[in-house]
Amino acid sequence: MKRPLLALAALLLAAAPALAEDTTRIGHVNTAATNMGLTRSHQVVVERFLDPEVPGVACFISQARTGGLSGMVGVAEDPARFALACTASGPITVPEGARRGERGEQIWEASTSFFFKETRVHRFVDEEQHVLVYLAWSTRFIEGSPYNAVAVVPYR
């Protein structure tokens, strides 16, 4: 009896949004009560993550999270709605390894559905303007997704 329960618990944990190790939940607001308040409400959640290769840059992402019973157990598909802001939180030195060309480098991701949908953040370096460009975008396995947000951080 314990094995099926452990397997179910592991499956639910795997379905929960995958966050980078340095992601910190800043807070949330409820956008709609679900099931007369008996389950988690729909929310907009604000999280902070640090650029893993460029010290001195902190990014903040807000994302819609689906509530209700499916949201509580981790099987809901969250809407591809998000905003991104990044800022210098200290001196910035861009290491040579952070300069990845026109495809950039993925630095963060969060799962937004049980299968095949994520929010990702890529870093690009605009050396002419001396800015780091961060692009948040949503993946979708079959259809793709046009949703995206951009933030820039100047450096010297």
pLDDT tens track for 93-151: 999 888 878 889 999 998 777 666 788 999 999 999 999 999 999 887 667 678 899 99
pLDDT of residue 142: 65
CA 31 vs CA 20, 34, 40, 104, 147: distances in Å: 25, 10, 11, 34, 20
Residues counted in the chain: 156
Q: What is the distance between the alpha carbons of residues 31 and 25, in angstroms, rounded to a whole number?
A: 17
Give the domain range for residue 39: 2-154
pLDDT tens track for 26-37: 999 988 877 766
Span of 62-76, 84-98, 99-113 with lowest mean pLDDT: 62-76
pLDDT tens track for 15-57: 333 344 589 999 999 888 777 666 678 889 999 999 999 999 9
Overall domain count for the chain: 1
| pLDDT for 7 beyond 50 | no
**Cα dihedral angle (98, 104, 107, 109), rounded to 10 degrees?**
180
